[in-house]
Amino acid sequence: MGRADATRLENASVTENAREIRVLIIGGGRGGLAMLDALGQYPWVRVEGVADIRDDAPALAAAREAGIPTGTDVAAMLERFEGDLVVDVTGDPAMRDTLETHVRAAGLEVVSGKSARLLFDLARRNVHDSRAIRERDAQLAILDHLLEVTEKLRQRPALKDIVAESFRVIAGAAGIRRGLAVIWPDGRDRPDIAATHGIRAKRLPETDHAQLARLCRGLKRGERMLRLDPPVQLEGLPGKPGFHLLLPLWRKRGLAGAMLFAAPASRLPRATEGMFRLGASHLNVALHILDEYEALQQAATLDPLTGAYNRRFLERKLEAEAARCKRAAGFLSCLFIDMDDFKEVNDRFGHAAGDNALRRLTDIVRECIRSYDTLARYGGDEFVALMPAAPGEDIAHAHRAAERIIERVRESRVPGHPELKLSVSIGMATQSSETVNAETLLARADEALYAAKKAGKGRLRHIMDFRIA
């Protein structure tokens, strides 16, 4: 009879519409605890109770935690039980005889002794196989997702989007109840929440900033996983969750973010730990690739000496700004900036001093224009700044910025060469939405620069080429 029940349980694991089997476990020791864990893995098996003469038996404590009825009066629990199968793991012959007598009239079946051991072995084998399949599926899901992330890197997705999506996949695959992913945006000391799991929070409270910063300062570059013992508790989050595991996210410039999970080491299977390491390793590789893409883009768009945009980027940007000016019915100004007597600077002070002079000029122009204006090195000692103006915006702003540039350059000194005095001439052209044209705007600014040079050093000439409807 016991072997037949074991076979029925084995067959049920591969039967899609298997009838639910209701089970009562007698015995709350290690055998009962193991049986409870093994049978609890089957969706078609429902453990309706665990009985033992000792109230402090470990299986009873585990059953209570899972919401399963327990009791120390075995006879009373048998009277109330209306299920299918009684599993006796006590190993007591007297208990086996009592059960046989008690359940015969009720039509129940009893599994005990060697039959109970066989049932446990079969269940454990099935559970092991099912877990192995789930673990492989979870690992493949992580790898598939990270492959998708890698393919998206060419589109330059935001760091927050990459981390949030990866965090959700890792947390889901590992079966973690609570977790938190944070990132440090460029140039900021305070972290932003990228995603949460089992925690309702959109912002990290101020009280937790310092604690998280102290935690991350102890990380070694390249470290993939850190166990937190004792767990780190973030007091400002709802429920004050404790985190046992941290996955650092590294970029070329340093720590870019972190994932924190509530995953006690005592409950963390080796396979789950492997999922964390797998996810962290591949995600950090993806971030490294993102860094490489950004470096390639910078090499393609930035001037290596000054850090300003290069001429190729300027040509594309000029076309885009001209098109936007037409759509928005605004104005577009172009500043053509040229350093006076730059050849004499190189001849007298050396090319290193000339390079420093160009860097100093770049810094000054950046300080005088707005963050959304565009500065590019056109070639040699020539620079171009594009300054759009929306409808209703003061179009004289660009003219005043050009005057400030000339004045600031005149007052500045090149580091290491206090005796070197600089001067720039600026040609400026402004067009409206009715007249704007990328090619003619640059040509007008070049004409104005020629007029400024002809008038002497440190001069500004402005050609206004627009109509106001």
Predicted structure pTM score = 0.51
Is there a single domain that holds both residue 323 and residue 291?
no
Rounded Cα gap, residues 252 and 254, in angstroms: 6
Sign of CA dihedral 45, 46, 51, 52: positive
User: Can you give the pLDDT at residue 441?
Assistant: 96
User: Can you give the pLDDT at residue 1?
Assistant: 40
Q: Assess if residue 138 is contained within a domain.
A: no
Is there a single domain that holds both residue 231 and residue 333?
no
Measured in degrees and rounded to the nearest 5, phi and psi for residue 272 equal -65, -40
Alpha carbon 31 to chain centroid, angstroms:
44
Is there a single domain that holds both residue 318 and residue 446?
yes
Is there a single domain that holds both residue 231 and residue 377?
no
| CATH number of the domain to which 254 belongs | 3.30.450.40
Is there a single domain that holds both residue 9 and residue 39?
yes
Rounded Cα gap, residues 408 and 406, in angstroms: 6
Is there a single domain that holds both residue 387 and residue 459?
yes
Alpha carbon 468 to chain centroid, angstroms:
48
Q: Show which of 299, 333, 352 is a domain's final residue.
A: 299
Q: Assess if residue 134 is contained within a domain.
A: no
Q: Say if residues 116 and 89 touch (Cβ distance below 8 Å).
A: yes
Q: Assess if residue 46 is contained within a domain.
A: yes
User: Can you give the pLDDT at residue 3?
Assistant: 47
Q: Whole domain around residue 371: which residue ranges?
A: 311-465
Is there a single domain that holds both residue 292 and residue 320?
no
| CATH number of the domain to which 22 belongs | 3.40.50.720
DSSP run (H or E) holding 222: none
Regions in the chain scoring below 70 on pLDDT = 1-18, 103-107, 113-143, 145-146, 150, 187-188, 264-269, 271, 467-469
Q: Assess if residue 75 is contained within a domain.
A: yes
Rounded Cα gap, residues 87 and 23, in angstroms: 7
| CATH number of the domain to which 382 belongs | 3.30.70.270
Measured in degrees and rounded to the nearest 5, phi and psi for residue 250 equal -105, 140
User: Can you give the pLDDT at residue 361?
Assistant: 95
Q: Assess if residue 150 is contained within a domain.
A: no
Q: How many domains does the chain have?
A: 3
Q: For the CA atoms of 317, 318, 323, 329, what is the dihedral angle to 10 degrees?
A: 120
Q: In what order do the strands lie in the sheet with 331-339?
A: 374-379, 382-389, 331-339, 424-432, 460-465
Q: Show which of 299, 324, 345 is a domain's final residue.
A: 299
Is there a single domain that holds both residue 248 and residue 386?
no
Find all residues with CB under 8 Å of 403, minimum gap 6, and list them.
460
Find all residues with CB under 8 Å of 87, minimum gap 6, and list them.
23, 24, 25, 26, 35, 39, 111, 112, 116, 119
Find all residues with CB under 8 Å of 270, minimum gap 6, and list them.
none
Measured in degrees and rounded to the nearest 5, phi and psi for residue 164 equal -60, -45
Is there a single domain that holds both residue 315 and residue 455?
yes
DSSP run (H or E) holding 197: strand 192-197
What DSSP character marks residue 302? B
Q: Assess if residue 305 is contained within a domain.
A: no
In the chain, DSSP finds a helix count (H) and a strand count (E) of 14, 17
> What are the structure tokens assigned to 83, written together?
């299920």
What DSSP character marks residue 19? P
Alpha carbon 460 to chain centroid, angstroms:
49
User: Within 10 A of 317 (CB to CB), how many other CB atoms are there?
Assistant: 17
Burial call 373-391: b when 16+ CB within 10 Å, e when fewer:
bbbbbbeebbbbbbbbbee
Find all residues with CB under 8 Å of 186, minimum gap 6, and list them.
none
Is there a single domain that holds both residue 215 and residue 114?
no
Is there a single domain that holds both residue 279 and residue 179?
yes
Q: Assess if residue 135 is contained within a domain.
A: no
Q: Could you read off the pLDDT of 319-368 as tens digits, one per residue?
A: 999 999 999 888 999 999 999 999 999 888 899 999 999 999 999 999 99
List active site positions.
381
Q: Assess if residue 304 is contained within a domain.
A: no
Q: Show which of 265, 299, 333 is a domain's final residue.
A: 299
Is there a single domain that holds both residue 369 and residue 251?
no
